[in-house]
Amino acid sequence: MNRQVVATALAVLLFSTSLLFASPPLPKPDHIVIVIEENHAFSQIIDSPAAPYLNALARKGALLTNSFGVTHPSQPNYIALFAGSIDGVSRNHCPTSLTTPNLHSTLALVGRTFAGYAEDLPSTGSVDCVAGAYARKHNPWVNWQSSPINTVPAEDNRPFSDFPADFERLPTVSFVIPNQLNDMHDGKEPDRIQRGDQWLQTHLDRYVEWAQTHNSLLIITWDEDNGKSDNHIPTILVGPMVRPGRYGEPLDHYGLLRTITDMYGAKPVGLSRQALPLSTIWATPAVTP
């Protein structure tokens, strides 16, 4: 047997082996809703009697047991999840103006849409730093609203009261930011966990049920931990494209952002270019349109 035949046979064998062990392709959800909660470690939420709804979702979907925030305090974590970098923001600071590529701008380049829904935002396009229990530090996209490039239009910075009852009207990707009374930020334990858990059930359970038959996905994560667990946070994904279970696959805000952009063939942004998308949690075959 000559060298060319041997080389061809070896190439076929290697290709076949790579197919055998390849991860399932990423799904392409019709809609993704991402909710960001505040300042709790994995051990404070998972298996806690104060969070029965969140733990029911964790059993129904994929629970990432090796998920981490990227820094402290809150604001740079939100910016990291939206733009793949803390972008020089190392503290809670308002106002902040940024120009770098972000989830909105990269989705737009492939014909996909984004909107952010923040509870108690005073009005569409508001740039207020604080308004009641709303805090701009938890609203990353507003920092690009006045940018000459990679702009987030004011109409995509919306109050949660605009979250559509008809879920078909949702953008491709949306962020939901509860106010500081409902995102587990304010109050004492375990009351603030219970209040946040009940808010999620009240406002998003109908979307969870609808998503199961409409190729859509809910992601719930935290900005950071309580400062006592090496930034170990829960991340839960629920939808028909997800295999239920607990997964030790490493994840941070950059990896979650990379997963979302790769789902739609969008160019990764910032440090998410160096991250790997989630690969072990998807149903086989992946559910796609």
pLDDT digits (tens, 9 = 90+) for 28-72: 999 999 999 999 999 999 999 999 999 999 999 999 999 999 999
Output the DSSP codes for 177-214. Answer: E--TTTSS-SS-TTHHHHHHHHHHHHHHHHHHHHHTTT
pLDDT average, residue stretch 271-280: 98
Confidence of residue 252 (pLDDT cuts 50, 70, 90): very high
Angle at 204 (CA atoms; ends 195, 162), nearest 5 degrees: 105
Percentage of the chain exceeding pLDDT 90: 89
| pLDDT value at 230 more than 80 | yes
Q: Residue 24 has what pLDDT?
A: 63
Amino acid identity of residue 81, one-letter, is L
| pLDDT value at 284 more than 80 | no
Helix (H), strand (E) at residue 235: strand 232-238
pLDDT average, residue stretch 258-278: 98
Which domains does the chain carry?
26-274 (3.40.720.10)
Helix (H), strand (E) at residue 167: none
Tens of pLDDT, residues 6-20: 333 333 343 334 334
Average pLDDT score, the chain: 92
Q: How far apart are CA 193 and CA 65, in angstroms?
A: 19
| Two tokens, residue 1 | 């047997």
Q: Which one, of 199, 276, 242, lies nearest residue 32 by Cα? A: 242
Q: Which one, of 106, 84, 88, lies nearest residue 97 by Cα? A: 88
Tens of pLDDT, residues 81-122: 999 999 999 999 999 999 999 999 999 999 999 999 999 999
| pLDDT value at 256 more than 60 | yes
Q: Residue 16 has what pLDDT?
A: 39
pLDDT average, residue stretch 132-154: 98
Amino acid identity of residue 266, one-letter, is A
| pLDDT value at 150 more than 70 | yes
pLDDT average, residue stretch 140-149: 98
| pLDDT value at 22 more than 60 | no
Q: Residue 25 has what pLDDT?
A: 87
| pLDDT value at 202 more than 70 | yes
